[in-house]
Amino acid sequence: MDPLLHSLFRPLQVNGSDPSTYYIEQKPSVALRAYVACYWESGPTARDAASLSWMEEEEAVDRVLPDGCTDILLEYDSVSKRQDMSYCGTFTHPFVSARQAESETRIFAVRFFPGGAHYFHGMPTHLFTGGNYRLEDLWPESIAVIGERILEARDFNERVRIMDEYLNQLLLRQRTNDCDLMKNLLHRIFMSGGSVGVKELAEREAISERQLNRKFGQWIGISPKKFSEVVRFQSVLHSIQSGGGLDWTELALKHSFFDQAHLIRDFRRFYGDYPLTAAKDLRKLSDFYNTRPEASAILKI
């Protein structure tokens, strides 16, 4: 992969909608930026008795959106001292992540840029599409020791440093060849905002559509058509995030939909609700540029 692709595609997630939780991101080291989108963490904020009184029996819910990425997830419960490590494959439908009001579970994660995880696990990414798998069963290097070190780390920055060092070492030992074809394909899709067709992609790279689908299954986990739809959905999200007066007909034309009805139907498929709801959720949309800065004050265990 090419780190320059990141400037063309910055997927958004709806995070931080609940004041009782924090969400924060950090970029990887320079050597990993072709493969890792970011490290992120979420968990409960410090709560006083007054806040607990009205939060009792309630759940905090965040909407998780398709973005073409895959993630390593390390979930830790400070009460039970239990840690689960998993790998979440590419998904194409939105889902909600619910947290019990008094849960002490924290999640530390690696979000791989589309195609990036394949360099590390070396397996066809489509094997993990739509699922969550035990990390110990598929990762090429023992991850248990790293999990223990992260568990004992003092804060988010130290957890990032431990995982970043591990991935850098693993990257040097892996033999997965770089793929100029995938770079070119992703560049064309990102530049078009997800509007380029599969036939055009194949013709421009002088390959068959069958080869194209095979490459995407290996590297991305979903078909080029579905991935382009996810990229276009994310492009619409960015348009909504940019604010200003939203004309849905203009938005449909800008992102190459047939009409407003087509835009709304496609958007609901990936967001789980109407574009107007996304506009209302605008302040919850979180990436490197609007992560709440106050989160850094509550990251120590």
Per-residue burial over 13-29, b if 16 or more Cβ lie within 10 Å, else e, is: bbbbbbebbbbbbbebe
Strand stretches in 240-288, DSSP E: 285-286
Distances in Å between the alpha carbon of 50 and those of 36, 46, 67, 99, 298? 40, 12, 37, 19, 19
**CB neighbourhood size of 130 (10 A):** 13
Residue from 102, 41, 101, 48 nearest 292 by CA? 41
> Do 171 and 219 lie in a common domain?
no
Rounded Cα distance between 214 and 220, Å, is: 10
> Do 96 and 230 lie in a common domain?
no
Confidence at residue 18, expressed as pLDDT on a 0 to 100 scale: 65
> Do 155 and 294 lie in a common domain?
yes
Question: What φ, ψ does residue 40 adopt, rounded to 5°?
Answer: -140, 160
What are the pLDDT digits (tens) for 68-79? 999 999 998 877
pLDDT beneath 50, residues of the chain: 48-58, 287-301
Q: CATH code at 264?
A: 1.10.10.60
What are the pLDDT digits (tens) for 196-250? 999 999 999 999 999 999 999 999 999 999 999 999 999 999 898 887 667 888 8
> Do 170 and 67 lie in a common domain?
yes
> Do 110 and 163 lie in a common domain?
yes
Strand stretches in 19-164, DSSP E: 21-26, 36-44, 59-64, 70-77, 82-88, 95-100, 105-112, 132-134
Confidence at residue 244, expressed as pLDDT on a 0 to 100 scale: 63
> Do 289 and 242 lie in a common domain?
no
> Do 39 and 91 lie in a common domain?
yes
> Do 188 and 277 lie in a common domain?
yes
- Residue span of the structural domain in which 220 resides: 180-282
> Do 147 and 294 lie in a common domain?
yes
